[in-house]
A and B are shown apart, each in its own frame.
Chain A
Amino acid sequence: MAFDLFLLEVVISGLMTGVMYALVALGFVLIFKASGVFNFAQGVLALFAALALYDFLAEDGWFFAVFGFTLPVWLAIPATALIMILLAWVIERAVLRFLVKQEEIILFMATIGLAFVLEGLGDLLFGSDVKPLDIGIPQGASDWLLDNFNLYVEKLEIVAAATAAVLVTALAIFFQKTRVGRALRAVADDHQAALSVGISLDKIWVIVWSVSGIVALVAGIMWGSKSGVQFSLSLIALKALPVLILGGFTSVPGAIVGGLIIGVGEKVAEVYVGPLVGGAIENWFAYVLALGFLLFRPQGLFGERIIERV
């Protein structure tokens, strides 16, 4: 019985980690859906958002140095969101605008360049030391679950899961019900057709980069609270990639389901297979798992069917 409980704990912890991956993957999906850009900078966006948020909250930041006071959490988060929107606007103005109609790989490379720029900028502005991010999310194990079911689950992870659920619901409503959401889907479907019915591509791109900037902010908050704000935060982008190909580049539910599968698979493999081969298989196991799925569904679990014509 104890063994099963342990397995359950591993699975739950995997599911929670999966949600965290999914948060990052979600940002990728949004941008890929609306502009066909494979945005490698998503992880760095999350890092940048977390750094900016920390700056508003801490007494050793720029904001405190300039204005002499720090912002409360409820004000700092919208302020960071504003910064992300501003950043999206700058990215559209300075980079994307000039790369319309280029091949996908060129756009992909441009986002890697963008990742470098943001990384250097983040280090220059905020320094590269580890910063603890505390916005009042409860830490430690959930006592209630521990007492009643003897299960060890991090409170932070429960909060992350709840946030992810709210975020996905909000995004689903935004995409399906609002005017802007419809325009986004139209652009995702066909750039030219969208242009011809009067949708402004520039605006849509700013909007979609802003939205994924805000998603990056959420991911940054969660990962930052978990392990501090530091450079390695941007590497979660690499963790999100297998999630992405597993779920499909174009599917929001795919990102969530993919995240859960990868999270659970990774944890279970680490616990049960890892010791047999010397451990530390987390780095590549997710990719192999995703590759296995891809061999049967080349477009990912929920991706749009790839139709090719000569």
Chain B
Amino acid sequence: MGSYIFNRFCYMLISIVLMSVVAFIIIQLPPGDYLSSYIMQLQASGERVDPAQVESLRRQYGLDLPMYQRYFVWVKNMLRGDFGRSFDWNMPVRTLIASRIPMTVAVSLVTMLFTYLVAIPFGIYSAVKQYSIVDYIVTVLGFVGLAMPNFLLALFLMIFFQRVFGFSPGGLFSPEYLNAPWSFARFVDMLKHLPVPIIVIGASGMASLMRVMRSSLLDEIKMKYVTNARAKGLKERVLLFRYPVRVALNPILSSIGWMFPQILSGATITAIVLNLPTVGALMYRALLSQDMYLAGTCVLFLTVFTLVGTFISDILLVCADPRIRFD
């Protein structure tokens, strides 16, 4: 068990290194660099650009070096905690990301928690009462949630909240609390703003998880060991949760690996629509303006979250399913 976890951890580290190369290549792929888009901006506003000045800027940012050298400089600096400078925001990437990571992770975790808390019970119910009215309702809602684009749902809910509760759920805070220090009132204000992003971001994940839970439990309920346990005189409810549900949860555990990045990336569009201070929106803007260090760091962070999520779900699966061998 210990060696298995160690092995998986090593694989994860290797994957992170490989992914950093890929992330770096991807952000270098679009033609030009930040300076060329900066120059274009200046030219568009009618300013004259001195080629010598451009050249010196290029050297200053290390953009004249070959790609592999730039990669190593990037990695070396990151290991020291220096993620480079955002050209666009004109401030260290570290500061920018640090201010958004806690909110991003918080929103994602709460969304995940909510997703599982809703999806698992409804999945179980619609499997046990297959083809009942509730099963049909849950299934239809699930498909709607799966099919509807995030941003559309976000717009609907914003209008709904505006009309019914009389406040705009955009952002995580009302304007008056935006830059205020933490207080109880600010916390309550945040709670008021949370439901919309959680529902919007969680909707599709919830729907697919519910389907996974339902079909996985439907398979398990028909298994011989369930009949056997029933033949021993166990109560239906005890039987259900102790045997088939317990086994059917395994595929749900493995979903943690892909749920986390799905929520983070799903949050990007939602974050733009709802104006949430998360990493997703930041990354989108950075990619558009070729703000390479910022974009690279964002991509890398999302990758690391994905890999850590997979690592955690792998370990959980090993704990939950004795049939998985370590050797």
Q: Are the chains A and B members of one assembly?
A: no
Chain B residues near A (Cβ < 8 Å): none
